[in-house]
Amino acid sequence: MAIDNHGERDTRQTLAPAVGAPPANVVRSRGEGEDNTVLEIKDLTIDFASVDGRVRILNGVSLTAKRGEVVGIVGESGSGKTTLGMAILGLLDSPPANIVSGSITFEGRDLLKLKSAEMEKIHGTGINMVFQEPLDSLNPVYTVETQIAESLKVQRKRQNPPIARETEGETKKLITDLLRNLCIDKPEEVLERYPHELSGGMRQRVAISISTIEKPRLMISDEPTTGLDAYVQNRILGMFSAQRKAGETLLYVTHDLTIASQICDRIYIMYAGRVMEAGETRSVLQEPLHPYTSTLVASVPQGFEDAPPLSVQLGEPPDLRNLPSGCKFNPRCPYAKDVCKETEPKLEEILGRRHAACWRVDKELGKFS
Amino acid sequence: MGNLVEIEHLTVAFRSKRREGLFHSGPSLKALDDVSLTIGENETFGLTGETGSGKSTLAKVLVALYKPTSGTVRFLGREIDYKNRKDIAFLRQNVGIVFQDPVRSLNPSLTVKEVITEALIAAKSIPKKDYDERISFITKLVGVTKDLLPRRPRELSGGQRQRISLARALVVPKRLLVLDEPTSALDVSIQAQVLNTLKKLKSELNMSYLFITHDINVIKYVSHRLGVLFYGRLVEVGDTRTVDTEPKHPYTQSLISHVLTLKKVGLQETVISEHRPAPTGCRYRIVCPAAFERCAAVPSWVNLGDGHLVSCFLYDHQSRMENQALLPTAAGQVGSLRAPPHESS
């Protein structure tokens, strides 16, 4: 399949659900490093001003994503995963947000230093985001068709050289096919509706189609399949896999480990605005190093009614306004030692393959001790 | 084990607001169509299906928020007349409900204690002097600490709010608790805690659950028996383990094969592009890979033994007699369709 970032991709092929590894021979776009790194976040720290003073939402987060890679950001509410996505897109309002330190490099350019006009050109076809709450991201006064067609128009205009726009009929067919691909029944009827007339799952799929039709080089999806049925969820994940095959990079934000284990090449486990563990998905989920990762894995219900209770520690999610000293997970951690309560561990490389921020992980042995 | 709830031929229809005119009402839409099921004492009945399949409608009928269009609901052997206030009061006295959204289902202006007390006042059966005792008993059981009682819902986390919903539903002892997607809005570690609490509560308070969720991993983990809804019709009922390991209805098979687990590798290829119900006959027949001429009629229930019921023509007596040779072909398409055991009703 021919892929050219400055040309048109075959829509049908891109949309067909397929599963597979990232392609070897993709054309590199400008500014991309030798190692195909599309996105590199270094030591990102973000504060939010609130009535209780400054609250640190992200603390020294570093992350990389290569071309054609699906990178999972896994964490629970308040872990800062959504803020991370918004920061990449430059959507955080300042104030209240304040980027204290760090850099976000996309295709060789530091996004934090770009002017808003330059950033706008990256939005849509460069970086795109599917938000968790689709009602907030859709325009209430336009029909579904108008909104998807608008994205398509932008996509066509930004190609170099620009591609002639499809006729109205062609556009309609393209959009209908896309919606049908997302298991939307009677897409012709849906096209004429307004966002408020659709169910939550339907809106989410419309939002996804708006993002995918722009064929961004980096797509951030924030819990895109939450609340959708297993069947539709599979279809959407299949579509994402196909996009990855076409050389798109995907940042997949979720709290659902079963989804992450399906489509992510690498995952970052976040807790209280920090990366607790990172590495290749399979190894992280099969042999978690950090106790927090183990908690998450143990929380996935397995077995039948007569199965033993799920082994999870009690305790509430962290309150960012009032974090404990030392390791932020220590109040919920069953293995916490004295040092965990005093000093915060750094995210360190373990055996060259993985990263974990835990005092109890032995760096030489690569094991939890 | 006696039956606590017996639902027979329950149909709930709504008038569609779309295409409604001044002189004609909109077309009616059956959210539930001829659904029959029973929930035993101390049993957790899991109800699953996709969005719009009528799961929540059934939940609301059981607490009399919706009235059945036709069909009967019997609770503790008493047939509920939805026009009779006493019957509705009887139903609500014995059935508690926990909704999906812990934010919207709690009154933001009341403290936690007031929220729970409201349920006691509404019940009328409990003397005022016992209120504090009941509240401290139930909050301890669901894992709400005392310091939360004077707070308001917005000051609490999602897991805590859902525990308070639970406490409110159970502060007056109930025989049945309807749980409508109780954990879908929660984080995984909190979901696990709530599921553990629910299992513990059930054994201590001696009641039944109707557990509704679209998450098959969760429903497998909590329920004894499982019912699968497809666009308002129940297509398969049976022991959870049996339904999960040997699903019979093509829809159940598709549903279960699409479930993601931590161990499963690779996505299930989805071949069906359109997922819509047929207006008549078997609702699944448009997308069903094994559909044949007879599916144009509504299939009757086939008993496969041990309470495993399936509403599909592939398994009835006539199919087996006529299409002995045909069945394996159909089975090949569907995946793990196997010839049913030799008993049918």
Measured between beta carbons, which residues in chain B are less than 8 angstroms from residue A314? 143, 193
Across the interface, whether the CB atoms of A76 and B189 are under 8 A apart is answered: yes
- Which is more confident, B92 or B21? B92
Contact between A44 and A61 under an 8 Å Cβ cutoff? The reply is yes
- Residue ranges per domain, chain B? 3-19+27-226, 246-334
Query: Per mean pLDDT, which range of A300-304, B4-8, B86-90, B333-337 is the poorest?
Result: B333-337
The residues that bridge with B180 in the sheet, in sequence order, are B212
Q: Which of B224, B270, B274 sits opposite A238 (nearest CB)?
A: B270
Query: Per mean pLDDT, which range of A79-83, B15-19, B240-244, B246-250 is the poorest?
Result: B15-19
pLDDT at site A172: 87
Across the interface, whether the CB atoms of B191 and A299 are under 8 A apart is answered: yes
Strand A218-222 to strand A249-254: parallel, antiparallel, or no bridges (unpaired)?
A: parallel
Q: Which of A76, A304, A307 sits opposite B188 (nearest CB)?
A: A76
Cα atoms found within 13 Å of the Cα of residue A106, Cβ hemisphere only: 25
- What does the pLDDT profile of chain A (369 residues) look like in tens digits? 444 444 444 433 333 333 444 444 444 445 445 568 899 999 999 998 888 788 888 999 999 999 989 999 998 877 888 889 889 988 888 778 889 899 999 988 898 888 888 888 888 888 988 887 777 788 889 999 899 988 888 888 887 777 777 788 888 888 888 888 787 778 888 888 898 888 777 888 888 888 888 888 999 998 888 767 777 788 788 888 888 888 889 999 988 888 888 889 999 999 999 999 999 998 898 888 999 998 888 888 888 888 888 877 667 778 888 888 889 888 888 888 888 888 889 888 888 788 989 888 877 777 777
Chain B nearest CA to A185, separation (Å):
6
Measured between beta carbons, which residues in chain A are less than 8 angstroms from residue B189? 76, 295-296, 299, 312, 317
List Cβ neighbours of B76 (8 Å cut-off, separation of 6 or more): B4, B94, B175
Hey, which residues 162-201 in chain B have their CB within 8 Å of chain A?
184, 187-193, 195-196, 199-200
Instruction: Retrieve residue A216's tokens.
Output: 């961004």
Alpha-carbon gap, residue B98 to B105, rounded angstroms: 8
Residue B25 — pLDDT band, cuts 50, 70, 90? low
User: Is residue B224 classed as helix, strand or coil in its secondary structure?
Assistant: coil
Q: Convert the pLDDT of each residue in B99-120 to its tens digit.
A: 888 778 888 899 999 999 999 9
Alpha-carbon gap, residue A265 to A246, rounded angstroms: 15
Encode burial over A304-341: b for 16+ CB neighbours within 10 A, e otherwise.
bbeeeebebbeeebbebeebbebbbbbbbbeebeeebe
Across the interface, whether the CB atoms of A309 and B196 are under 8 A apart is answered: yes
Q: Which fold has domain A11-274?
A: Rossmann fold (3.40.50)
Neighbours of A366 (CB within 10 A): 15
Alpha-carbon gap, residue B334 to B323, rounded angstroms: 16
List Cβ neighbours of B162 (8 Å cut-off, separation of 6 or more): B98, B102, B182, B183, B185, B186, B190, B194
Our CA dihedral for B226, B229, B235, B236, rounded to 10 degrees, sits at -10
Q: Which of B184, B191, B216 sits opposite A230 (nearest CB)?
A: B216
Chain B residue closest to A184 (CA)? B274
pTM of the model: 0.81
For residue B17, the 8-state DSSP code is S
Question: What is the DSSP code string of B139-151?
Answer: HHHHT--GGGTTS
Contact between B141 and B201 under an 8 Å Cβ cutoff? The reply is yes
pLDDT at site B211: 95
Residue B37 — pLDDT band, cuts 50, 70, 90? very high
Q: Which of A180, A298, A316 sits opposite B274 (nearest CB)?
A: A180
The residues that bridge with B121 in the sheet, in sequence order, are none
3-state per-residue secondary structure call for chain A: CCCCCCCCCCHHHHHCCCCCCCCCCCCCCCCCCCCCEEEEEEEEEEEEEECCEEEEEEEEEEEEEECCCEEEEECCCCCCHHHHHHHHHCCCCCCCEEEEEEEEEECCEEHHHCCHHHHHHHECCCEEEECCCHHHHCCCCCCHHHHHHHHHHHHHHHCCCCCCCCCHHHHHHHHHHHHHHCCCCCHHHHHCCCHHHCCHHHHHHHHHHHHHHCCCCEEEEECCCCCCCHHHHHHHHHHHHHHHHCCCEEEEEECCHHHHHHHCCEEEEEECCEEEEEEEHHHHHHCCCCHHHHHHHHHCCCCCCCCCCCCCCCCCCCCHHHCCCCCCCHHHCCCCCHHHHHCCCCCEEECCCEEECCCCEECCCCEEC
Alpha-carbon gap, residue A369 to A171, rounded angstroms: 59
Chain B nearest CA to A265, separation (Å):
12
Chain B residue closest to A257 (CA)? B262
pLDDT at B270 over 70: no
Measured between beta carbons, which residues in chain B are less than 8 angstroms from residue A235? 270
Contact between B314 and B290 under an 8 Å Cβ cutoff? The reply is yes
A96: preceding bond cis by omega (within 30 degrees): yes
Alpha-carbon gap, residue B128 to B131, rounded angstroms: 5
CA neighbor of A368 nearest in space, from A291, A260, A280, A304: A291
Q: Which of A231, A262, A295 sits opposite B254 (nearest CB)?
A: A231
Measured between beta carbons, which residues in chain A are less than 8 angstroms from residue B193? 310, 312, 314
Alpha-carbon gap, residue B288 to A95, rounded angstroms: 54
Alpha-carbon gap, residue A86 to A65, rounded angstroms: 16
Measured between beta carbons, which residues in chain B are less than 8 angstroms from residue A199? 51-52
Alpha-carbon gap, residue A305 to A354, rounded angstroms: 36
Measured between beta carbons, which residues in chain A are less than 8 angstroms from residue B191? 299, 301
pLDDT at site A22: 42
Neighbours of A38 (CB within 10 A): 28
Chain B nearest CA to A269, separation (Å):
13
Residues in chain B: 345
> Which of B190, B224, B244, B260 has the highest number of chain A CBs within 10 A, making it the mutation to test binding with A?
B260
Which ipTM score applies to this complex?
0.76
Residue B202 — pLDDT band, cuts 50, 70, 90? confident
Across the interface, whether the CB atoms of B223 and A305 are under 8 A apart is answered: yes
Measured between beta carbons, which residues in chain B are less than 8 angstroms from residue A316? 157, 159-160
Across the interface, whether the CB atoms of B261 and A258 are under 8 A apart is answered: yes
> Roughly how many angstroms between the first and final C-alpha of chain A, as a whole number?
48
Long-range contacts of A323-326 (CB under 8 A, 24+ apart): A323/A272
CA neighbor of A254 nearest in space, from A239, A234, A276, A270: A270
Strand B302-303 to strand B309-310: parallel, antiparallel, or no bridges (unpaired)?
A: antiparallel
CATH architecture for segment(s) B3-19+27-226: 3-Layer(aba) Sandwich (3.40)
> Which of A310, A319, A329 has the highest number of chain B CBs within 10 A, making it the mutation to test binding with B?
A310
How far is CA A215 from each of CA A109, A156, B95, B127, rounded to the nearest angstrom?
Answer: 20, 10, 50, 65
Hey, which residues 265-294 in chain B have their CB within 8 Å of chain A?
266-270, 272-276
Contact between A269 and A212 under an 8 Å Cβ cutoff? The reply is no
Alpha-carbon gap, residue B306 to B191, rounded angstroms: 31
B217 touches chain A (CB under 8 A): yes
Measured between beta carbons, which residues in chain A are less than 8 angstroms from residue B276? 185-186
Instruction: Retrieve residue B85's tokens.
Output: 């206030």
Across the interface, whether the CB atoms of B258 and A233 are under 8 A apart is answered: yes
Contact between A204 and A138 under an 8 Å Cβ cutoff? The reply is no
Measured between beta carbons, which residues in chain B are less than 8 angstroms from residue A185? 274-276
Alpha-carbon gap, residue B82 to B285, rounded angstroms: 34
pLDDT at site B17: 67
Measured between beta carbons, which residues in chain A are less than 8 angstroms from residue B275? 183, 185, 231-232
Contact between B277 and B231 under an 8 Å Cβ cutoff? The reply is yes
Chain B residue closest to A235 (CA)? B270
